[in-house]
Structure 1
Amino acid sequence: MSKNIVWHQASISKQDRRQKNNHHSCILWFTGLSASGKSTIANEIAKALFHQNVQQYVLDGDNIRHGLNHDLGFTDHDRTENIRRIGEVAKLFVDNGQIVLTAFISPFQADRELVRTIVEQDEFIEVYVECSVETCENRDPKGLYEKAKKGEIQN
């Protein structure tokens, strides 16, 4: 990092935003296999929060890879960078006083721990969406399990 970069303190604090929003801000980090239901659950919770006037936003793995992380693949290194970037974006939402719901496979515990360390202790809630591989394979809405079995995709 350049020594010429200096953090600029915002004129409105996270606490001010939380007070105005009448709620705490945090990351709800949904992790699990592809097709386990992470995005579906995150979006249903977001909808319920929205109807309760809670400031929230869903960051979905595929959606993020269409833009911010379009340059990343699925190697271990790229997966780690994907989660690092998402963690930084999610932190901005938390600083803005919102609840950010993230839906990412995020297979590496170390990557999730990194995100946990960049926010305050009560600002990261990890939710493992447990679903058997068989169920995920049967759902397979993106056809990824079938492509993997055929050797068409790796990682």
Structure 2
Amino acid sequence: MSTMGNSTNIFWQESPVGKLERQKLLNQKGCVVWITGLSGSGKSTLACSLSRELHTRGKLSYILDGDNIRHGLNKDLGFKAEDRTENIRRVGKYVEK
């Protein structure tokens, strides 16, 4: 058992399907391509083009677009320096597994 904040009843649930099993099923290994740049510099356009190309090649991909993430998981964050840092931390934690 581990504690998280004030909670003492939070347990890590192992997945019955492991990373190697998913890789074998999909016939591909997972990776993260993190595209950074200034607002309006074309990051989302590049990500969409890359996703389309991977799909054309029969590979699965998923885009975690910064603006889309701010509609849900990070809707409580603004664009101050500390909010940007927290945004990156949360997204990084999300894709870690």
TM-score of the aligned structures, taking structure 1 as reference length: 0.55
Can you give the 5+ residue segments of structure 2 that lack an aligned partner in the other structure?
A: none
Per the alignment, residue 96 of structure 1 pairs with none
How many pairs were matched up? 92
Can you give the 5+ residue segments of structure 1 that lack an aligned partner in the other structure?
A: 93-155
TM-score of the aligned structures, taking structure 2 as reference length: 0.85
- Bigger proportion of residues as strand: 1
Matches within 5 A, 1:5-154: 5-92=10-97
Partner amino acid for 1:44? S
Give the 4+ runs in structure 1 shifted more than 6 A: none
The superposition leaves residues 10-61 of structure 1 with CA deviations (integer Å, 9 ceiling, x where unpaired) of: 1000110011111110110000111221111111000011122211101111
**Cα RMSD (Å) of the superposition?**
1.3
- Bigger proportion of residues as helix: 1
Determine what percentage of the aligned residue pairs are the same residue. Answer: 50
1-side partners of 2:35 and 2:29: how far apart? 18
Higher relative CO (Cα under 8 Å, sequence separation at least 6) belongs to 1
